[in-house]
Amino acid sequence: MPLIEVRNLTKVYVNDEIETPVLHGVSFGIERGEFVAIMGPSGSGKSTLLHVLGFLDGYTNGSYRFEDKEASTYEGDAMSHIRNKKLGFIFQSFNLLAHASVFENVKLPLFYSDIPESEWTKLVTDAIETVGLTHRTDFDVTRLSGGEKQRVAIARALVCSPEVIFADEPTGNLDSKSGGGVMQTLQDLNEKHGHTIILITHETYTAEHARRIIRIKDGLIESDTEVVARRHTTAGMLMK
């Protein structure tokens, strides 16, 4: 059974009694170990879909099953717990805690987890190593480059060993070189460590790093295709 299964999902925002439908009924499934890009222009509903899939927001109709359990059965704290345990988030604007070290930033999700404190240091160190920032462990994040900041965010998303990592325009604030490094890191996570990754982007170039692209337009799925010519950033660029 798929890790994520969406059937006829709709989402209508109600603001001051004015209804704004955003998702008009989308259906797809995502298996463990996939690397899927959700693509679409702004206003297409891709961010809304990410919020619903990421347990940050509810949905109006249809069904969203995560690990074969209907997402609407989770409420309040249960949603917080599932975000903490099963999901990792990477944002366009990094969202790191300023004036804190790389180590402190990566540790943040553990505060809200039930993982014993004795394991924290190892988990954090391992996550930082995975993204290749061990030499920056004690640096204040404000001293890092954009690409490094995003890799800190990736390490933070990894630290609780989630089932899925959501990356919302992870290269949007980066130049192409650092963006390439971030995409390479995500590909490594998927290929070498078997992490399921859902990437949200409006750039075809970025989306082509994934194995599969779901295109969304006006709240409906336009196409759902395998990537034929997958892009890879050279390892040499990453080691910079």
Partner 1 sequence: MKLKHSLKTAYTGLEQNRARSFLTILGIVIGVAAIILVMSLGQGAQALILDQVKGMGTRTIIVGGGREPKGPSDAGQIFNDSLKKRDLDFLERRENTPSVKFVMPLIFGAAGASYQSDTYNLTIFGASPLMEKIFDMPFKTGGMFTEEDIRARAKYVIIGNKVKTQLFGADDAIGQVIKMKGYNFRVIGVLTEQGQSAFNFDEAAIIPYTTAQDYVLGIKYFNRFVIEAQSDELVNSASDEVALTLRESHNITDPAKDDFFVITQVSLANSLSSITSVLTIFLAAVAAISLIVGGIGIMNIMLVSVTERTKEIGLRKALGATYKDILTQFLLEAVMLTGMGGLVGILLGAFLSWAISAGITQFTSIAWTFSFPVSAALLGLGVSGAIGLIFGLYPARTAARKSPIDALRYE
Residue 232 is given by DSSP the state: -
Here the tokens at position 35 are 């690397």
Query: For partner 1, which stretch binds (CB under 8 A), given 2-10, 35-43, 88-96, 182-190?
Result: 88-96
Query: For partner 1, which stretch binds (CB under 8 A), given 35-43, 93-101, 133-141, 177-185?
Result: 93-101
User: Considering only residues 16, 68, 117, 226, which one is a binding residue for partner 1 as defined by CB under 8 A?
Assistant: 117
The stretches of 54-198 forming alpha helices (DSSP H) are 77-86, 102-111, 120-130, 146-158, 176-193
Residue with tokens 């996939």: 34
Residues of span 123-152 touching partner 1 by CB under 8 A: none
Shortest Cβ 83–partner 1 spacing (Å): 5
Please report whether residue 95 would count as binding partner 1 according to CB under 8 A: yes
- Rg (C-alpha) for the chain, rounded Å, is 18
Please report whether residue 57 would count as binding partner 1 according to CB under 8 A: yes
Here the tokens at position 90 are 């990477």
Q: Is 220 exposed, middle or buried (0-12, 13-18, 19+ CB in 10 A)?
A: middle
Which of 78/237 has CB closer to partner 1?
A: 78
Contact residues toward partner 1 (CB under 8 A) are: 51, 54, 56-57, 76-77, 80-81, 83-85, 89, 91, 95, 97, 99-100, 108-109, 111-113, 117, 156, 160
